[in-house]
Structures are given as C-alpha cells and as structure tokens.
Amino acid sequence: MDFLKAEIQRPVDFISGGLFHSDEPWIHSRREINSFELIIGINQTLYMQQDTMQYEVNPGDALLLLPNHVHQGYRFSSDNLSFYWFHFHCLGETRLMMKTDLLREFSFVWSQPISKRHNTNVYIPLFTSLIGIDRIQILCQQLLHIANSSYYTNQAVNFQLTSLLIELTEQTGNQLKEQQDKTEADLKLEKIKEWIRINSNKAITVTMIAEKFNYNKDYLSRLFKRKTGLNLLEYIHLMKISKAKELLSRTSLPLKVITDQIGIDDEKYFMRLFKKYEKITPTEFRKAYYRTHMNNE
C-alpha cells in the first residue's frame, strides 16, 4: 500500500506538532500510538522503522506513520537533525490504496473542469520526496504559528493542517501527471529545475546553467519560457525567494546572513527582489508567522 485516502468533509483533528531539533546524535524511541504522525525532514537523515519497514527521511522527504503500528528509530541520526512532526486524527473514513487505484481516481479528477472538482478526499503518500518542499515548510511554520496562538477556535489549526494535507495531495497528483506526460525535453528541464533548486544558495546565472547542460543560452531561455511560462532568470529568482521565505519563517537569522545563504551579495537588491515578488518586505513576512513549538526529545 502506497497512499492513505482520507475523507475531509470535516477537517482532520490536530493533536500536537512541533519542530524537532537535536544538537547531538539521536534515535527515536520505540512506541505505538493511536494517531497518525506526519514527519517532514529538514536537516540530516532520520532513520525510522514502522513494523518491519525501514525509511531514511532526508531533507525534503515526507513520512506518514499509521496509528496502532509500532514505530521506532533503527539507527542514530547525526547531530543537527531537524524535522517537523504533526500528530492528528482523521474524522472521516480512511483506507490504504495502491498507486494504480490512485491514478484511476486522479484521472477522473483531471478529466473534470476545475469548477466541478468537488473532491472531499486527500491522498497522502506514506513516503515521498516532495517537489515543493519550500512551500511545504512555509505551510508547516504557519501551522505551528496558529497552533501556538490564542485563536478563538481550535478549528483554525485543524483547517490549516487539512490545507497542508491538500498541498501534499496536490504535489502528489502533479508528480503522477508529469510522469505520464513527460517528453525527453521535459525530463531534461526537470533536471535543470532541480539543479537550480539545489544550488539556489549560490550565485548562478543563465549562462552557467546553459553551459552545464550543453544548451545554447538563448535557445534554453526560449524553451524554458515555452514550457514553464517563466523565463529562466525569473525561475532562479523565485527559487531564491522561496528559500529565503523558508529561512525567514523558520529561523531568526539576520537578513544579511539569509541574503548570503541564497547566493545574493547585495542585501538591498535582495529586499527589492523580495518586495517585487511577494508584495511585502522580508521583515513584514517574518512577522506574519513567528510562533512555533520546538523540542529536542
């Protein structure tokens, strides 16, 4: 079984969550609980086992642990391990399903006009590498902010967690659809996009990318624009801004340090770039979601 199908006519019930960090080697204790747990890797590798199945949760991976199953660490993780964790109950019907069944359901959804897509389920992979990890991390930070704020109703955090699961489902569906539709040129562009994401902490240029992937610079720019709707420089900027948003929401690093970590050496230029794409300043963005819950055990 590869996916959990859960009905969300009512939002899922958030129990607890946080940002785990350990300054020294750490291993997860053995336990069995009656709720789901979603783990999203941020730094280093978490070694988790559920029953007899072992997983290496690397940065950008998501693992869903099932209720009433034994899970535990099977190997010590390195120091500076960090990951988001969320415990929740599903109030609607749930069942496990295979990839072939999921493709059948998604194919029906894709055939419908957008206005008719009244799907009331989420489809959560039991283990996956996320294509939009920066977006997921921002949603996690927003979720923790709401969980640790004094909202007048706890439904706020339930809906926010449900939104996170919907985003996981959307990314899962996009991955499946792209795997079906990709040409050789599409696959090469995906490699380029992934290389840009991984190297978004460096000073990269269109010329550098074209040379690395053996393209004429002008041809690559036209191809990228035709396939993605963005020119290559815009995509580089968006990846850097996405990484900056994740650092702004998850850390208290000074703006100059964040600027350096996304490969931009001019802080004022970064601020103008951020305002252009996000319509607010980096400081305003950071102030929007700052409450969280951190633990180290």
Per-residue pLDDT tens digits for 123-150: 999 999 988 788 898 899 999 999 999 8
Question: Is the pLDDT reported for residue 13 higher than 70?
Answer: yes
User: Which is more confidently placed, 29 or 111?
Assistant: 29
Q: How far apart are CA 19 and CA 144, in angstroms?
A: 8
Q: pLDDT digits over 76-88, tens only?
A: 999 999 999 999 9
Q: How far apart are CA 262 and CA 88, in angstroms?
A: 34
User: Which is more confidently placed, 289 or 38?
Assistant: 38
Res 1: pLDDT: 57
Q: pLDDT digits over 181-206, tens only?
A: 667 777 788 889 888 888 888 889 99
Give every CB contact of residue 221 below 8 A, 6+ residues apart in sequence.
206, 231, 232
Query: Average pLDDT, stretch 221-239?
Result: 87
Res 94: pLDDT: 96
Which of 140, 142, 117, 144 lies closest to 130 in space, CA to CA? 140
Query: Average pLDDT, stretch 39-56?
Result: 95
- Of 88-92, 110-114, 146-150, least confident by mean pLDDT is 110-114
Is residue 168 within 8 Å of 124, Cβ to Cβ? Answer: yes
Question: Is the pLDDT reported for residue 252 higher than 70?
Answer: yes
Question: What does DSSP assign to residue 278?
Answer: H
- The SS3 of residue 203 is coil
pLDDT-derived band of residue 291, with 50, 70 and 90 as boundaries? low
Q: Could you give the domains of the chain?
A: 3-181 (2.60.120.280), 184-288 (1.10.10.60)
Res 181: pLDDT: 60
Tell me the pTM.
Answer: 0.72
Res 79: pLDDT: 92
- Of 46-50, 69-73, 194-198, least confident by mean pLDDT is 194-198
Q: How far apart are CA 23 and CA 269, in angstroms?
A: 34
Query: Average pLDDT, stretch 28-53?
Result: 96
Summary mean pLDDT of the chain: 89
Instruction: Give me the DSSP letters along 36-53.
Output: EEEEEEEES-EEEEETTE
Question: Is the pLDDT reported for residue 290 higher than 80?
Answer: no
Q: How far apart are CA 112 and CA 89, in angstroms?
A: 30
- Of 35-39, 146-150, 243-247, least confident by mean pLDDT is 243-247
Question: Is the pLDDT reported for residue 179 higher than 70?
Answer: no
